[in-house]
């Protein structure tokens, strides 16, 4: 019973900390810049074009999902350029962008592609899929630790590890899937996704580490070019 209660608590915590699928694809080492008035205007313009297309594609591909996107600025000071997708308490999809990202992208195509990519995470259902993977990993590792006779601290550590590894399972595939769907969204919004994906050339390449959450930048660009060629 102690094992069951501990596992239930840890799975709940894992779900809380893994709700946004890999929110760091746009993080870079450069010092954050403050956006100017033109950056804000560009953001608003891109939102006005991408949001209705994303919602339309969401309704056609994910009929059971809440497709009422809310696109916001994360205006906390000192944040690196970043974008992420999450859900509010009612399941409404939130696409959040740090203010420094607005100054970091070089053109509207790059901003539109990042926005389309984040919307695609929701359309593909990556948050619940990631949560399921985290839960499966937690159950597996926690069960093995329990069978081996580990104490509560050992079981807790195993559950944490299992949830973390589980959350990373297929995360690279999720990113490539979001790139593919995001390519369609950006294209139908009137932007060039191939030009937009050039933003990947300006961020650190995650390489091909086993537990990495993101694929190589070259693989992502190749995916965008392949999908765009068929549009």
CA 199 to chain centre: 16
pLDDT at residue 48, rounded to an integer: 96
Backbone angles phi, psi at 150, to 5 degrees: -65, 150
Other CB atoms within 10 Å distance of the CB of residue 91:
11
Per-residue pLDDT for 73 more than 70? yes
pLDDT tens digits for range 16-62:
222 233 333 333 334 445 556 788 999 999 999 999 999 999 999 87
Contact 74, 54 (CB under 8 A): no
pLDDT at residue 41, rounded to an integer: 92
| Strand partners of residue 94 | 70, 86
Helix (H, G, I), strand (E, B) or coil at 72: strand
pLDDT tens digits for range 124-145:
887 766 666 556 555 556 555 5
Contact 164, 57 (CB under 8 A): no
pLDDT at residue 43, rounded to an integer: 94
CA 84 to chain centre: 5
pLDDT tens digits for range 161-207:
655 554 455 467 888 999 999 999 999 999 999 999 998 877 766 65
Helix (H, G, I), strand (E, B) or coil at 26: coil
Residue 13: HSE in the Cβ half-sphere, 13 Å Cα cutoff: 14
pLDDT tens digits for range 79-103:
888 888 888 888 899 999 988 889 8
Q: Give whichever of 3-7, 24-28, 102-106, 208-212 has the largest mean pLDDT.
A: 102-106
Contact 46, 115 (CB under 8 A): yes
Backbone angles phi, psi at 94, to 5 degrees: -115, 130
Rounded percentage of the chain residues whose pLDDT exceeds 90: 35
Alpha-carbon Rg for the chain in angstroms: 19
Interatomic CA distance for residues 81 and 74, integer angstroms = 10
Interatomic CA distance for residues 203 and 9, integer angstroms = 36
């Amino acid at each position: 019973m102690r094992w069951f209660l501990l596992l239930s608590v840890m799975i709940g915590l894992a779900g809380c900390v893994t709700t946004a699928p890999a929110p760091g694809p746009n993080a870079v080492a450069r010092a954050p810049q403050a956006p100017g008035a033109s950056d804000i205007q560009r953001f608003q313009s891109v939102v006005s074009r991408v949001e209705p297309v994303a919602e339309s594609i969401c309704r056609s591909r994910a009929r059971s999902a809440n497709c009422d996107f809310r696109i916001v600025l994360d205006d906390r000071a000192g944040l690196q350029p970043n974008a992420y997708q999450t859900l509010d308490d009612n399941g409404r999809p939130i696409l959040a962008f740090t203010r420094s990202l607005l100054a970091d992208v070089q053109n509207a195509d790059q901003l539109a592609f990042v926005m389309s990519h984040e919307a695609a995470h929701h359309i593909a259902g990556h948050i619940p899929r990631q949560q399921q993977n985290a839960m499966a990993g937690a159950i597996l590792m926690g069960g093995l630790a329990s069978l081996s006779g580990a104490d509560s601290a050992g079981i807790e550590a195993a559950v944490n590890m299992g949830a973390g590894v589980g959350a990373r399972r297929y995360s690279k595939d999720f990113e490539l899937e979001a790139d593919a769907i995001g390519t369609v969204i950006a294209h139908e919004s009137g932007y060039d996704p191939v030009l937009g994906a050039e933003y990947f050339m300006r961020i650190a390449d995650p390489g091909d580490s086993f537990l990495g959450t993101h694929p190589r930048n070259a693989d992502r660009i190749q995916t965008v070019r392949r999908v765009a060629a068929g549009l």
